Chains A and B, each alone.
Chain A
Amino acid sequence: MSSQARMITVDGNEAAASVAYRLSEVIAIYPITPSSPMGEFADEWAVGHRPNLWGQVPDVTEMQSEGGAAGAIHGALQAGALATTFTASQGLLLMIPNMYKIAGEQTAFTMHVAARTLATHALSIFCDHGDVMACRGTGFAMLCASNVQESHDFAIISHCASLESRVPFMHFFDGFRTSHEVSKIEELDDETLRAMVDEQAIAAHRERALTPDRPKIRGTAQNPDAFFQAREACNLFYDACPAVVKEVMERLCARTGRRYELFDYIGHPHAERVIVMMGSGAEAAAEAVEWITARGEKVGLVKVRLYRPFSAGDFIAALPTSVRSIAVLDRTKEPGALGEPLYLDVVAALRESADAGTLPFAEPRVIGGRYGLSSKEFTPAMVVAVYGELRSQAPKRHFTVGIVDDVTHLSLKYDDELDIEPADVTRCVFFGLGADGTVGANKNSIKIIGEETDNYAQGYFVYDSKKSGAMTISHLRFGPRPIRSTYLIRKANFVACHHFHFLETLDVLEYAQEGAVFLLNAPYGAEHVWDHLPREAQRRIIDRKLRFHVIDASRVAAETGMGRRTNTIMQTCFFAISGVLPREEAIARIKKSIEKTYGRKGAEIVKRNFEAVDKTLENLFEVKVPAEVTSTIEMAAIVPDDAPDFVKKVTALMMAGKGDLLPVSAFPVDGTWPTATTRWEKRNIAIEIPIWDETVCIQCNKCALVCPHAAIRAKVHEPNGHDAPPTFKAVDYKAPDLRGLKYTIQVAPEDCTGCSLCVNICPAKNKSNPREKAINMRPHMEHVDRERENYRYFLDLPEIDRTRLTRLDAKGSQFMLPLFEYSGACAGCGETPYVKLLTQLFGDRLMIANATGCSSIYGGNLPTTPYCVNAEGRGPAWSNSLFEDNAEFGLGMRLAVDQLAEMARVLLGRMASRIGESLAQALLTPPETGEAMFIEQRKRIAELRGKLAQVSSPEARKLEWLADYLSPRSVWLLGGDGWAYDIGYGGLDHVLSTGRNVNILVMDTEVYSNTGGQQSKATPLGAAAKFAAAGKTTQKKDLGLMAMSYGHVYVASIAMGANDNHTVKAFLEAESYPGPSLIIAYSHCIAHGYDMAHGMDQQQRAVDSGIWPLYRYDPRRIESGEPALQLDSKPPKLRVSEYTRNEARFRMVEKIDPERFRKLGEEAQKHTLRRVALYRHMAELALPAAPAAPGAPDPSPQAEPAGAK
């Protein structure tokens, strides 16, 4: 074993990427969870000029999709480069066509995959092998790593074996569980990698490159005479491949001492029951096998490393000859198959070997099971259950483990309480908030423990799917041996709760084992904290004999200028109490790492962190635990009693973090869920909430308009009834249209995220004290009880009759009920105000096709979803297909709706005489327009149904079902710039070209926000983004201009913060336009690097600087002889730099290289002025009107002039 090997603490992604990077010259990438960090590492290293093994900095290029990345890689390989890529899930599927080509051409190439679930009935970012298994037919070799060390080691094995075998390799490991697990591993240094790589194989790869100096053709089309034989010509490479891998594994072992086989056997030498599996679950299984064999049972485990080409001989050789029964565990599901892939391979291998007479033992019984789909926990207890099943007389031939299947009864029972973790492994669980820095501090602690002690360390982090107020749970283990527990900690020696209020809703102490340490951040001293604990927590502390420590970390953080960042304070407490390092040493190390982490980002940050560390210990106290439970505080109910049954039975359990307990029967079979469930999840995450000062208010409704979470609302209503809560406020409504009514602005105190966008946009200042506005942020704690009552009353007040809203401008729109509320979007999100507005305007007739991304996550991530319904039960119908196909998906909805509506019209025409000609006529051509049309048409539809009920004919039944389609549907295609500008652009372009009536809302954050801010073609010149760290050098694509070139597309560029009336106008016009419409909406985003409270101000600056012009291109205007384009923003009055300097994405470039910033800024300035000038010309250009214009209704007549703000 190499004694000099450096120990490093990294996650699986970094471990794999560090090898891939050093072995590559061309890296083509595209972001997708959970593999994105591999690409990001590569990009960061390239930006830092880190060389590969041969002294060259690899070319890291982001493509427009995984399909694009695969194409680029294919080309790079053909031209002789060493290339790699990283991907997962649907991204991998998009690479499949190229993978067939790359393999068919016997190309040396290795890709690295963080295996992830494929979207089926739902999307999941978590792990299973569905994606990699879908590639079995491509001809790629598949090598599976099961832990972080292996993801490092197997990376080099793959690269070497591919070069030497000419079979392309897919090296994969489990997404999140391995890709995101932080672990202490032995590093492969450059010298080792160099020794591993066969330079001659590289030379041979270069030799095969296409070159005009020795021209050849590759990629021909072949006919029946040739294709089949030529396809069979590859066989020898696959036959030879396993031996090549074996040899490379030997080589690695010789250098590092780490021995791997194609199939590794672990367990009793005479095992009778054997599990066969691959991936991280095999680590948990190995742990269980050791524990079981130590108890005298003869069990074993075969870890599959090289899954393709599947070497049956090596597999059988790996099995103990004593084997009697085998359970093959697959982390994937193939509905309708005889069994999952690994199971079938094992069955076939044994069968063939038996047939050939080479099986050295009697053919064992084989059963197959599924486990761990979408990162479902896989624990030693489940492994024990599988061995138990193998022992039974009639085991289930096909089973599942880890869930309760009460429908098809395939699941195995297991002992959930079984805990086999060795006592010398310290286990710590930390509950934190994303914003407080808990995860970062814990990653840091692992590094400290890993580097400063002989301990091995492991960290795994469970994140929330909410983007605001997100909870994180960190699982840390450390101990004397490499840690293989690839499952969450169940019984911890140390439990830290970084926010007191978690105790009120979560059973945090469930994780504490007897005698554990409990560290609590609480706003109460050691004397009083006990009295504030819920009964359940007190009970746990007493029963489990916990050692209870408390610190008011929030106060220490506030006093030391750390804001909400309690991370270093809690980290210091952890080291002080846990004793893993001597206190002084631990503190010195914490400070050293603070310096390392924050040194560059500012001396002030370091100083404040140091001060926080120094103040920690004097504020940390042990609590004397009383002998009795004294509290009368009960843990809060997850959902109130009036919640729907499904919410109480299913959603509430998921909200409580107990979704694992739900059986199969609890779930819809097809992924269809009820909407309107966020209202049952009262998260209370704001520290401050806006409180209305009705005496200052000018009733503009801007606060309600910009609220990303529909947590501040406006209503005009009849004067308060007697039942109004005493503090409910209402004033006379000032505008003439609804005179006599009352007006109220009301906060939803438990749903507000405290972003302050509303306060910042509020134009009304208190004349005596201009620091105060018409709404002001006030402490949540002080106001929540009162406002909860007020909000309840407010919601019960009847909504305004929509036909009475004569002015449909920004203000008027806010009297309409939002049908999108309390989503999990970031506090201060720049996208959701547009989505909310869309639902206010058209929600009761809205069908949404939503591209994957932020909007599909805050729009559709369980447990609760934000689209909701009005009093009549109508609301948006929403679906997400994929990332790349959303335009096509939405078009499909339109086609279906049009067909069904046409069927209804035809039937209605046919039955007109039976249901009454005048009703039929009115239904076919409603005399009203606008809101009134929908209201009247729905009445007519009800009347129609009434009449149809009296008709007994198949046609009548059909029309009954179709009748609703006589009321028009508004089909909207939603997504971000990653979709519209990049991966989905081809489809979007095509859909625009069809002329069909779809409305496309692009919420342009100018980066891939959901995956962490990678550049897209919407990223502006000069901005730093991932994969453009030094500042993007090319202009943002002008998507609007491209769409205008069709001539028949309605296009608008909007920015709510700059001109809200213009935004509303664009929505109304787009919807009324009978062809395709495209709205590009400026959406500020946390990826821009500034406080989102100022998001709307930045929108204003973007427009004022000309970098984001406001316009509307309406093809209807051409027919009336007017210029189609209306440039709605004024000529630029700010320099672009006055906009860019406020955002870290641009400032970063300035800080790194001021001269470059200046040059890019000048370019941006120049381009901005040119672009505005071009639009101005276009806005003056009236085209000749066609002699006969196709009929198109006029824009909504009640809309405000767009210029008005």
Chain B
Amino acid sequence: MNLNTTWLGFELEHPLVAGASPMVRDLGTVRRLEDAGAAAIIMDSLFEEQLTQEQLATHAALEEPAESFGEALSYLPNVPHFELGPHEYLEQLRKVKQAVGIPVLGSLNGVTPGGWIEYADLIEQAGADALELNVYDLAISTEESSKAIEDRTVELVREVALSLRIPVSVKLSPFYTSLPNVAARLVDAGAKGLVLFNRFYQPDIDLEELEVVRLHLSDSSELPLRLHWLAILSGQVEASLAVTGGVHTGVDAIKAVMTGAHAVQMVSALLRNGPGYLRIVREQMVEWMREHEYESIRQMQGSMNLSRCPDRRAYERANYMKMLQSWRG
């Protein structure tokens, strides 16, 4: 069975990729992912905001009590190689790169224009084979138009793509009025790939503590949204497409490939079941393809996208109407 696929210019043995997650923080896990056959590994995101916050918090915690009291001019050791910055991330990227033979992608979540470029460059220098930009420019102001937000994202991608030699892929949220237009503009700005979708905007509320709680792991129910937009973008944009969020089985992966994904990123399923689960999903894919007499991934890639699927209207408004009607019925 030929599972080969091309993604961001990399020839992969199959489309299953370990998506951005904390799994990369442990080199043992990284090696197990490679052993399980991951076609590529994506680093967890370097969060510029987090770096800045930590710098400020640590600076305040260390500097404010210092030079105040005669018996203790400081409270923690002054270690020359204690650096607060991306150093730790970059070092881990280097180690992951050394540990495995498969492509390793950096992932970046910036805040400031300078930060995006600076950290992207550093990630490239640390040996990343490609960079995933994890953009989330949240619309929270009544004053700001969608165009302004989109322009900002496009410009950011353009600047980063220009400054890097490695391919740049953009991980998007689903919340755009015209995702195809945004996607096309991003590709025009230099993005070699698009990743659908990040899972940021799904808060939950803790009713006891009256607090917003953080994200839980995904499940297969999140896949349809991604399939929908993969199908629409596939064939329309000249870029590698990847899915992330909701792929938990071989069948999920096949669906993603059929709707146009060149790579299938898995995180929650691996966190839940361990790195070895990737091999099982791959086997499930092979099994399904064998049963259904498919020869290769390329054969099915995009076969169910908007332009090729038997009923194009299913992805358009009619899909929605049909669903509602069928439910009523």
Residues in chain A within 8 A of chain B (CB atoms): 33-34, 36-37, 40, 43-44, 47-48, 125, 176, 180, 433-435, 437-440, 443, 461, 463-465, 467, 470, 472, 561, 563-565, 598, 600-605, 765, 767, 770, 826, 857, 1009-1013, 1024-1030, 1085-1087, 1089-1091, 1144-1145, 1147-1148, 1150-1152, 1154-1155, 1158
Judge whether A1087 and B75 touch: CB under 8 Å: yes
Interface string of B64-89 (1 = CB under 8 A from A): 11111111111111111111110110
B residues less than 8 Å from A433 (CB atoms): 68
Residues of A within 8 A of B225 (CB): none
Q: Report whether A1147 and B79 are in contact in the complex, using a CB–CB cutoff of 8 Å.
A: no
Q: Which of B70, B71, B210 has the most CB of A within 10 A?
A: B71
Contact of A1026 among B54, B64, B76, B95 (CB under 8 A): B76
Nearest 9 A/B pairs, CB to CB: A434-B68, A602-B55, A1012-B72, A1029-B77, A439-B67, A463-B70, A770-B210, A1087-B75, A1013-B75
Task: Write out the residue numbers on chain A whose beta carbons fall within 8 Å of the beta carbon of B55.
Answer: 601-605
In the complex, which residue of chain A has the Cβ closest to the Cβ of B68?
A434
| B25 proximal to A (CB < 8 A) | yes
- Contacts A44-B78, A467-B68, A1151-B82 known; list 9 others, CB within 8 Å: A437-B67, A439-B68, A602-B51, A602-B59, A603-B85, A605-B59, A1012-B73, A1148-B79, A1154-B92
Given the known interface contacts A1012-B73, A1025-B77, the answer about A602 and B61 at a Cβ–Cβ threshold of 8 Å is: no
Contact between chains at A463 and B68 (CB < 8 Å): yes
Return chain A residues, CB-CB under 8 Å to B62: 601, 1089, 1144
Residues of B contacting A1086 in the complex (Cβ-Cβ under 8 angstroms): 61, 65, 75
Query: Shortest beta-carbon distance, B118 to chain A, in Å?
Result: 8
In the complex, B213 has a CB within 8 A of chain A: no
The 8 Å CB contact of B75, one of A47, A125, A605, A1012, is A1012
Task: Report whether B61 and A1148 are in contact in the complex, using a CB–CB cutoff of 8 Å.
Answer: no
Asked if B61 contacts A1090 (CB within 8 A), the reply is yes
Q: Could you list some 21 contacts between A and B, CB below 8 A?
A: A37-B73, A40-B78, A44-B77, A433-B68, A437-B64, A472-B67, A564-B64, A601-B82, A601-B83, A826-B65, A1009-B75, A1013-B74, A1025-B77, A1027-B77, A1086-B65, A1087-B76, A1089-B61, A1089-B76, A1148-B76, A1151-B82, A1152-B82
Q: Is the CB of B74 within 8 A of A1012?
A: yes
Among B27, B59, B65, the one with the most A-chain Cβ atoms within 10 Å of its Cβ is: B65
Q: By the criterion CB–CB under 8 Å, are B69 and A464 in contact?
A: yes
Which of B26, B64, B80, B83 is close to A48, meaning CB atoms less than 8 Å apart? B80
- Chain A residues with CB under 8 Å of B51's CB are 602, 604
Interface membership of B138, Cβ < 8 A: no
Instruction: Determine if B1 is an interface residue (Cβ-Cβ < 8 Å).
Output: no
Instruction: Determine if B58 is an interface residue (Cβ-Cβ < 8 Å).
Output: yes
Find out whether the CB atom of B69 lies under 8 angstroms from the CB atom of A434: yes
A1013–B66 Cα distance when bound, in Å, is 11
Give the Cβ gap from B7 to chain A, nearest Cβ, in Å: 29
Q: Is B323 located at the chain interface by the 8 A CB criterion?
A: no
User: How many whole Å from A593's CB to the nearest CB in chain B?
Assistant: 14
A600 near B82 with CB under 8 A, answer yes
Q: Are the C-beta atoms of B71 and A563 separated by less than 8 Å? A: no
The answer, yes or no, to whether B63 is at the interface (CB within 8 Å) is yes
Report the Cα distance A180→B71, complex, angstroms. Answer: 11
- Complex CA–CA separation, A463 to B67 (angstroms): 8
Q: A564-B64, A601-B55, A1089-B58 are in contact. Are A1152 and B70 (CB under 8 A)?
A: no
Bound CA span A602–B85, Å: 6
On chain B, the residues within 8 Å of A770 by CB distance are: 210-211
For residue B57, which residues in chain A have a CB less than 8 angstroms away from its CB? 1090-1091
How long is the Cα–Cα vector from A1091 to B51 in the complex, in angstroms? 17
Query: Once the chains are docked, how many angstroms separate the CA of A437 from the CA of B95?
Result: 38
- A11–chain B nearest beta-carbon distance, Å: 10
Residue among B64, B74, B83 having the largest count of chain A Cβ atoms under 10 Å: B64
Contact with A along B183-214 (1 / 0, CB 8 A): 00000000000000000000000000011000
A440 and B75: CB pair below 8 A? no
Residues of A within 8 A of B66 (CB): 434, 440
Given known pairs A440-B66, A1150-B88, A1154-B88, the reply for A604 and B75 (CB within 8 Å) is: no
Residues from chain A with a CB closer than 8 A to the CB of B74 are 1012-1013
Is the beta-carbon distance between B68 and A1013 smaller than 8 angstroms? no
Q: Hey, which chain B residues are within 8 Å of A1145, CB to CB?
A: 76
B56 within 8 A of A: yes
Q: Which residues of B contact A125 (CB under 8 A)?
A: 70-71
CA of A36 to CA of B72 in the docked complex: distance in angstroms?
A: 9
Rounded to whole Å, the gap between the CB of A62 and the closest CB of chain B is 12
Residues of chain B lying within 8 A (CB to CB) of residue A435: 64-65, 68
**Inter-chain contacts of A443 with B (CB < 8 A):** 67
Chain A residue numbers with a CB within 8 Å of B73 are: 37, 1012
Q: For the complex, is B295 an interface residue (Cβ under 8 Å from A)?
A: no
Q: How far is the CA of A397 from the CA of B63 in the complex (A)?
A: 50
CB of A470, distance to nearest CB on chain B (Å): 4
Whether A1151 contacts B83 by the Cβ 8 Å rule is: yes
Q: How far is the CB of B50 from chain A (nearest CB, A)?
A: 11
Of all chain A residues, the one with the shortest Cβ separation from B70 is: A463
CA distance A894 to B76 in the complex (A): 37
* Interchain CB contact (< 8 A) of A604 among B56, B70, B71, B78: B56
Most chain B beta-carbon neighbours within 10 Å: one of A43, A604, A770, A1089: A604
Contact B71 A1151 (CB under 8 A): no
CB neighbours (8 Å) of B211 from chain A are 770
Nearest opposing residue in chain A for B87, CB measure: A1151
Within 8 Å by CB of B76, from A48, A1144, A1154, lies: A1144
Residue of B at shortest CB range from A602?
B55
Contact B72 A470 (CB under 8 A): no
Bound: A1086/B73 CA distance, A: 12
| Nearest B residue (CB) for A11 | B73
Instruction: Give the Cβ gap from B307 to chain A, nearest Cβ, in Å.
Output: 47
Known: A437-B67, A1145-B76. A1154 touches B91 (CB 8 A): yes
Q: How far is the CA of A1024 from the CA of B88 in the complex (A)?
A: 17
Contact between B70 and A47, CB atoms less than 8 A apart: no
Residues of B within 8 A of A33 (CB): 70-71
Kindly state the separation between the CA atoms of A465 and B75 in the bound complex, as whole angstroms: 16
Cross-interface CB contact of B77 among A40, A438, A464, cutoff 8 Å: A40
**Complex Cα gap A270–B120 (Å):** 76
Give Cα A605–Cα B57 distance, bound, in whole angstroms: 10
For B59, the closest partner residue in chain A by CB is A605
Residue B60 lies at the interface, judged by CB distance under 8 Å to chain A: yes
User: Is residue B218 within 8 Å, beta carbon to beta carbon, of the partner chain?
Assistant: no
Q: In the complex, what's the smallest C-beta–C-beta distance from B19 to chain A, in angstroms?
A: 21
B52 at interface by CB-CB < 8 Å:
yes
B59 touches A44 (CB 8 A): no
Inter-chain CA distance A1090–B53, complex, in Å, is 12
Tell me the smallest distance from the CB of B83 to a CB of chain A, in Å: 5
Query: Measured between alpha carbons, how far is A1009 from B55 in the docked complex, in Å?
Result: 23
Are B79 and A1012 in touch, CB under 8 angstroms? no
Chain A contacts for B118, CB-based, 8 A: 603
| CB-based contact B77/A563 at 8 Å | no
Query: Bound state CA distance, A398 and B54, in angstroms?
Result: 60
Closest CB in chain B relative to A433 CB, distance in Å:
8
- Give the residues in chain A near B75, CB-CB below 8 Å: 1009, 1012-1013, 1085-1087, 1089
Smallest Cβ distance from B87 to chain A, in angstroms?
7
Find out whether the CB atom of A1154 lies under 8 angstroms from the CB atom of B80.
Answer: no
Are the C-beta atoms of B59 and A1013 separated by less than 8 Å? no
* Given known A-B contacts A34-B70, A48-B80, A604-B55, A1091 and B210 have beta carbons under 8 A apart: no
CA distance A1158 to B27 in the complex (A): 11
Q: Is the CB of B81 within 8 A of A1152?
A: yes
| Most chain A beta carbons < 10 A, residue from B57, B67, B84, B87 | B67
Interfacial chain A residues near B78, Cβ < 8 Å: 40, 44
- Closest Cβ of chain A to B296, distance in Å, is 40
Nearest neighbor of B74 in chain A, beta-carbon distance: A1012
Once the chains bind, are A604 and B77 in contact (CB under 8 Å)?
Answer: no
Bound CA span A1154–B67, Å: 29
Residues of A within 8 A of B80 (CB): 44, 48, 600
Contact of A1147 among B26, B58, B68, B77 (CB under 8 A): B58
